Amino acid sequence: MEKKIITSANAPAPIGPYSHSVLAGNTLYISGQVAKDAVTGEMIQTDIKAETNKVMQNLKAILLEANMDFSNVVKATIYCTNLGDFAAINEVYGTFFTTDFPARETVQVVKLPLNANVEISVVAVK
């Protein structure tokens, strides 16, 4: 099986030794994204909805680079530092999917990179 690294200039550069995503066969594995702006390098943390929106925009940029969109997503994992934010995160997350929602879990964690409040990773299939 061929493995191809997919990177997007419209998503923030990885902060460690990992790729934005890896395409293995027809399956795209996108690394967890936080609300870091690709242009300014600043974290978007004005409120949880704005932060979640930026995370989803970063995921979208990587999906587009692989000639996919959210309709290709089959699995998502949401990490958040406060499950009290679940309703707001879910509200924004839901606006990126129109039908056939992917499988998903949401996990509360103690801390995320760059002091993010939410991080989301996805798996997509062509």
Task: Give me the pLDDT at residue 121, please.
Answer: 98
Q: How far apart are the first and last CA of the chain?
A: 15
Whole-model pTM? Answer: 0.97
CA-based max dimension of the chain: 42
Average pLDDT over residues 3-29: 96
Residue extents of the structural domains in the chain: 3-125
What pLDDT was estimated at residue 50?
Answer: 98
Find all residues with CB under 8 Å of 43, minimum gap 6, and list them. 34, 35, 36, 37, 51, 114, 115, 116
pLDDT at 1: 78
Architecture of 3-125 per CATH?
Answer: 2-Layer Sandwich (3.30)
pLDDT digits (tens, 9 = 90+) for 48-103: 999 999 999 999 999 999 999 999 999 999 999 999 999 999 999 999 998 899 99
Q: What is the distance between the alpha carbons of residues 37 and 14, in angstroms, rounded to a whole number? A: 12
Opening angle at CA 21, ends 52 and 61, nearest 5:
50
Instruction: Give percent of the chain with pLDDT exceeding 70.
Output: 100
The b/e string for 106-116 (b: 16+ C-beta within 10 A; e otherwise) is beeeeeeeeeb
